[in-house]
């Protein structure tokens, strides 16, 4: 469903993504992990057509992201970490607008069910400018999923959500995956990633350093290695020595 070949993005001398080779199967829930600035969001923006690659190729559902960007956009949903919404529309109006763009049948029924699921029904006719961060995130989730996309790109999908809504989001992703939708997501909540994912890719300094199931990445250390342990070991650990030096300095100054 998603394939990249030597996919690269440079900003001057900075290599944000370096020759990424990746394959995500149809119907797979793939979690893309990495420290801040590792290249996760840049990768997603290239795959969704928001950024043009410096070199290399990528395809979504067999369509080249450069040669057929509109074709890719028709079959995908995208949730950015900081979504843009039209503040002067109500929540319902915004979702109706997105549904009309995609030609969604029975849009009002579908929007109503979504708003009930995420407890937005009493706020559906309020302007988005008055929504909280969590409410805005819920509307953006609805916009990404309202048209039943074949592939969904999600950048920190549970960020800004309360615990109940985050659980609904996780259950919703599992459900659409079971129906055949391919999910490509980033998250900093490694416990969520470990419980949900089919496979994990770990990127650091723009380079893919590991990919596989959690069991494959864990290797022989089955009892003690959580995904957090694996991630920290591969990306530089907890920097315990620097933490100790910082705390010692604080103590000395006081």
The whole domain housing 25 covers: 2-75+149-253
pLDDT score for 222 = 52
How many domains does the structure of the chain reveal? 2
pLDDT score for 159 = 87
Tell me the per-residue pLDDT of 166-194, one tens digit each, with 9 for 90 and over.
Answer: 999 999 999 999 999 999 999 888 887 88
> Is 126 found in the same domain as 215?
no
Q: Is the distance from CB of 128 to CB of 156 less than 8 angstroms?
A: no
With tokens 């100054």, the residue in question is 253
Q: Is 103 left (phi over 0), alpha (psi -120 to 50) or beta?
A: left
> Is 230 found in the same domain as 137?
no
> Is 143 found in the same domain as 52?
no
- The CATH code of the domain that includes 189 is 3.40.50.300
Rounded Cα gap, residues 252 and 254, in angstroms:
5
Write down the pTM of the prediction.
0.88
Q: In which element (H, E) is residue 79 found?
A: strand 76-79
Rounded Cα gap, residues 152 and 183, in angstroms:
5
> Is 190 found in the same domain as 125?
no
> Is 231 found in the same domain as 157?
yes
What is the chain's alpha carbon radius of gyration, rounded to the nearest angstrom? Answer: 20
Tell me the per-residue pLDDT of 45-92, one tens digit each, with 9 for 90 and over.
Answer: 999 999 999 999 999 999 999 999 999 999 999 999 889 999 999 999
> Is 246 found in the same domain as 156?
yes
Residue 15 has pLDDT above 80, yes or no: yes
């Amino acid at each position: 469903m998603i394939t990249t070949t030597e996919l690269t993005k440079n900003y001057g001398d900075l290599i944000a993504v370096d020759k990424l080779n990746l394959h995500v199967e149809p119907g797979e829930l793939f979690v893309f992990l990495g420290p801040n600035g590792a290249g996760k969001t840049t990768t997603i923006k290239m795959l969704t057509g928001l950024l043009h690659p410096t070199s290399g190729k990528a395809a979504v559902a067999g369509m080249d992201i450069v040669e057929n960007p509109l074709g890719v956009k028709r079959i995908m949903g995208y949730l950015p970490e900081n979504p843009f919404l039209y503040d002067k529309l109500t929540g319902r109006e915004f979702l109706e607008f997105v549904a009309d763009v995609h030609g969604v049948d029975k849009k009002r029924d579908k929007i109503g069910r979504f708003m009930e699921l995420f407890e937005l029904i009493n706020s559906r006719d309020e302007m988005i400018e008055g929504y909280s961060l969590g409410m805005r995130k819920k509307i953006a989730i609805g916009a990404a999923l309202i048209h039943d996309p074949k592939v969904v790109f999600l950048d920190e999908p549970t960020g800004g959500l309360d615990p109940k809504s985050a659980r609904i989001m996780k259950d919703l992703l599992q459900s659409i995956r079971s129906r055949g939708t391919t999910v490509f997501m980033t998250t900093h909540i490694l416990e969520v990633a470990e419980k949900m994912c089919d496979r994990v890719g770990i990127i650091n300094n723009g380079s893919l350093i590991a990919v596989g199931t959690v069991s494959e990445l864990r290797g022989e250390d089955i009892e003690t290695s959580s995904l957090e342990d694996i991630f920290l070991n591969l990306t530089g650990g907890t920097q315990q020595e620097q933490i100790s030096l910082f705390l010692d300095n604080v103590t000395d100054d006081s």
